């Protein structure tokens, strides 16, 4: 896979920004690289609080939604929240259910079974709600693409409110789009063409939070009662890999504060069983440790188990459920690794090397992990990837994309092949008949307009910063840039002509490297390589020779000089602090 290093060269008065906000020019440069330009944007980025949240009433149909829900609560009509089985759907369901009950609603919930029901609401869930005497259905993190299913609910006489954040389905003829909205009582989704909400990247749980925020205002419930729910909306924002810009970034910052002081015994139990502390939870821990445990519930069991963890008041039960979710996630990891190996084998043995879009059919793969495998294959080949699996009816699949390729838009070009599909520019889900698998692979590549430039992964360097510039103060200042995630990536620094004084393999499996580095200015600093040690060794051996590789392990003088991308940090051990860099890439 080709990678190209490019230095971000966006201009601004870095000195002036630094002086005004009390930050180093390096930090000011990184903020500019994130396209945070105007004074108010910079203020929000550095100092934003929940006071900067937009009013929920800017969302189309919010007033109508609150009016309907208020009437149903007063009339004691039974309400059912129908969510989704991923981290966003679980958190959105929890937020709506908790908020509705706080306002006195007679409310319950249902979450689809991934294997039996598939994504989102379906006619069986609608029928079950009707037979249970439900008056009102409120969807969360789904519903915008369920016009047919929700029509049935209306025909049965139920009130229906859709809260969602997914793209609105459309038909396109002669370049004119006709959007297909479900005919329900109210729709709260900022992606609606005529919704004037200024921020368009909220996740489903954040939309649910907006609804409950407005409802609490209506019922004169104290604003502090939203604190816990803000924590779960922030959790879902990271877990659903939303853009950490604007309102989302503030939501995650505020959410992490609430997680730090959470009283939710289920979340506390999960944090404990994962070996973490509430006081040190970061966006990384949500995205790669805690979030996958909640997601594993919906993938390999039922997402109701994850929701049960969040709603239980019993400490022993919370500990048991948290441990079950952790074990499920470990099982998911093993299945994923097996699936990734099979997918790589398929790509390299079934004539797909020239395909610009990879469509891999793994018939026996557990359909719940198709999206994770697609993400891993995308990382390896830097191409859009669809992983398809055999389902009860036909074939199901998940896609993960690259920048510059809108998966949802491209799928619309071959929509005739699917029985169902939906998603975002960077991720999608689909169902299709088995006989269409190979046709899909051919047609999605035929309509693909990706060129060599787009298919070359770009490593954007924020600051070419000499190792000699690193100080503990700079590292401390970089903390103001957190939380990191999609849209607010961890900064990338680079230095060149770096000598390697010595190298040691560390870790139980000797799969990590500790290097002593020296730059042309004479700065000596420790470098840590946590991933890709074998690739690093192959690179050194190929470029400089096996003998030079052996010399760095013996600590002998050598001819090696490389460029690195890195992130600076402080290694603290038994009270001693030492500057180091975490190496991300090399040339």
Among residues 583, 413, 471, the alpha carbon closest in space to that of 27 is found at 471
The confidence score (pLDDT) of residue 115 equals 65
The confidence score (pLDDT) of residue 468 equals 95
Among residues 110, 99, 195, 71, the alpha carbon closest in space to that of 144 is found at 195
> How many helices (H) does the chain have, and how many strands (E)?
21, 19
Structural domains present in the chain: 57-223 (3.90.1640.30), 350-455 (3.10.310.30), 458-586 (2.40.50.460)
Neighbour count for residue 214 (Cβ, 10 Å)? 21
> Are the C-beta atoms of 315 and 265 separated by less than 8 Å?
yes
Indicate the helix (H) or strand (E) that contains 371: helix 370-381
Indicate the helix (H) or strand (E) that contains 551: helix 546-554
CA distance 392 to 405: 30
Among residues 134, 121, 109, the alpha carbon closest in space to that of 166 is found at 121
DSSP secondary structure string, 100-150? Answer: HHHTT-EEEEE---TTTT-SS--HHHHHHHHHTT--EEEEES--TT-HHHH
Per the listing, tokens 């049960």 go with 308
Among residues 310, 369, 318, the alpha carbon closest in space to that of 339 is found at 369
Helix, strand or coil, per DSSP, at residue 494: strand
Per-residue pLDDT of the chain (587 residues; tens, 9 = 90+): 678 999 998 999 999 999 999 999 999 999 999 999 999 999 999 999 999 999 999 999 999 999 999 999 999 999 999 999 899 999 999 999 999 999 999 999 999 887 677 677 999 999 999 999 999 999 999 999 999 999 999 999 999 999 999 989 888 888 888 999 999 999 999 999 999 999 999 999 999 999 999 999 999 999 999 999 999 999 999 999 899 999 999 999 999 999 999 999 999 999 999 999 988 899 999 999 999 999 888 776 788 999 999 999 999 999 999 999 999 999 999 999 999 999 999 999 998 989 999 999 999 998 889 999 999 999 999 999 999 999 888 999 999 999 999 999 999 999 999 998 887 788 899 999 999 999 999 999 999 999 999 999 999 999 999 999 999 999 999 999 999 999 999 999 999 999 999 999 998 888 899 999 999 999 999 999 998 999 999 999 999 999 999 999 999 999 999 999 999 999 987 788 899 999 999 99
Q: Give 290's DSSP letter.
A: I
HEC sequence for 424-458: CCCEEEEEECHHHHHHHHHHHHHCCCCCCCCCCEE
Instruction: Categorise residue 104: left if φ over 0, alpha if ψ from -120 to 50, beta otherwise.
Output: left
Helices (H), 34-82: 39-47, 62-74
Is the previous residue joined to 483 through a cis bond, with omega within 30 degrees of 0?
yes
CA distance 385 to 371: 9
**Residues 6 or more apart in contact with residue 508 via CB below 8 angstroms:** none
Tokens of residue 512, six digits = 């990590």
Tokens of residue 121, six digits = 């609401």
CA distance 566 to 478: 13
Helices (H), 136-203: 147-155
**Residues 6 or more apart in contact with residue 432 via CB below 8 angstroms:** 388, 394, 395, 397, 417, 418, 419, 440
Query: 249, exposed or middle or buried, with CB in 10 Å at 0-12, 13-18, 19+?
Result: buried
- State pLDDT tens for residues 249-301: 999 999 999 999 999 999 999 999 999 998 889 999 999 999 999 988 877 67
CA distance 546 to 534: 13
Q: Rounded mean pLDDT of the chain?
A: 94
């Amino acid at each position: 896979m080709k990678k190209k290093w490019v230095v971000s060269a966006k201009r601004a008065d870095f000195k002036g920004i630094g002086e005004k906000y009390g930050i180093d020019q390096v930090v000011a440069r990184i903020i500019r690289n994130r396209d945070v330009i105007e004074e108010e944007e910079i203020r929000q980025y550095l100092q934003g609080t929940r006071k900067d949240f937009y009013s929920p009433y800017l969302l189309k149909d919010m007033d109508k939604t609150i009016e309907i829900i208020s009437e149903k609560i007063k009339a004691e009509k039974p309400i059912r929240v129908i969510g989704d089985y991923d981290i966003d759907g679980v958190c959105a369901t929890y937020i709506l259910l908790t908020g509705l009950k706080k306002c006195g609603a007679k409310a319950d919930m249902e979450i689809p079974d991934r294997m039996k029901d598939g994504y989102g609401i379906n006619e069986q869930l609608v029928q079950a709600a009707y037979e249970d005497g439900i008056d009102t259905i409120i969807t969360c993190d789904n519903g915008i693409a369920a016009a047919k299913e929700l029509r049935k609910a209306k025909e049965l006489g139920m009130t229906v409110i859709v809260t969602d954040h997914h793209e609105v389905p459309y038909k396109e003829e002669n370049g004119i789009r006709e959007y297909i909205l479900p005919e329900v009582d109210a729709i709260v989704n900022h992606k609606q063409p005529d919704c004037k909400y200024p921020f368009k990247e909220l996740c489903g749980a954040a939309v649910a939070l907006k609804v409950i925020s407005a409802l609490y205002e209506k019922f004169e419930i104290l604003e502090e009662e939203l604190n816990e729910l803000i924590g779960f909306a922030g959790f879902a924002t990271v877990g659903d890999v939303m853009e950490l810009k604007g309102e989302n970034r503030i939501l995650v910052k505020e959410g992490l504060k609430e997680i730090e002081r959470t009283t939710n015994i289920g979340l506390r139990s999960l944090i404990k069983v994962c070996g973490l502390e509430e006081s040190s939870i970061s966006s990384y821990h949500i995205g790669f440790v805690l979030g996958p445990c909640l997601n594993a519930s919906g993938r390999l069991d039922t997402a109701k188990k994850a929701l049960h963890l969040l709603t239980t008041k019993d400490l022993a039960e919370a500990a048991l459920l948290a441990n079950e979710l952790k074990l499920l996630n470990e099982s998911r990891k093993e299945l994923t690794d097996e699936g990734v190996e099979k997918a790589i084998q398929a790509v390299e043995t079934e004539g797909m090397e020239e395909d610009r879009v990879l469509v891999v059919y793994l018939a026996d793969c557990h359909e719940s992990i198709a999206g994770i495998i697609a993400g891993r294959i995308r990382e390896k080949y830097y191409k859009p990837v669809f992983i398809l699996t055999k389902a009860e009816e036909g074939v199901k699949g998940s896609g993960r994309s690259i920048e510059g390729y809108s998966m949802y838009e491209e799928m619309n070009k071959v929509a005739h092949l699917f029985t169902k599909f939906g998603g975002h520019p960077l991720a999608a889900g689909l169902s299709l008949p088995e006989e269409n698998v190979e046709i899909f692979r051919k047609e999605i590549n035929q309509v693909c307009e990706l060129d060599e430039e787009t298919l070359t992964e770009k490593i954007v360097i924020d600051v070419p910063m000499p190792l000699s510039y690193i100080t503990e103060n700079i590292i401390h200042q970089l903390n103001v840039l957190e939380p990191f995630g999609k849209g607010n990536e961890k900064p990338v620094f680079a230095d060149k002509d770096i000598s390697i004084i010595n190298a040691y393999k560390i870790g139980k499996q000797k799969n990590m490297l500790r290097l002593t580095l020296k730059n042309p200015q004479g700065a000596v600093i420790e470098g840590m390589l946590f991933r890709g040690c074998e690739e690093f060794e192959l690179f050194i051996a190929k470029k400089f020779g096996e003998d030079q590789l052996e010399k760095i392990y013996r600590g002998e003088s050598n001819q090696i000089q490389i460029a690195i991308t890195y992130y600076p940090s402080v290694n603290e051990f038994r009270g001693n602090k030492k500057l180091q860099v975490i190496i991300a890439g090399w040339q």
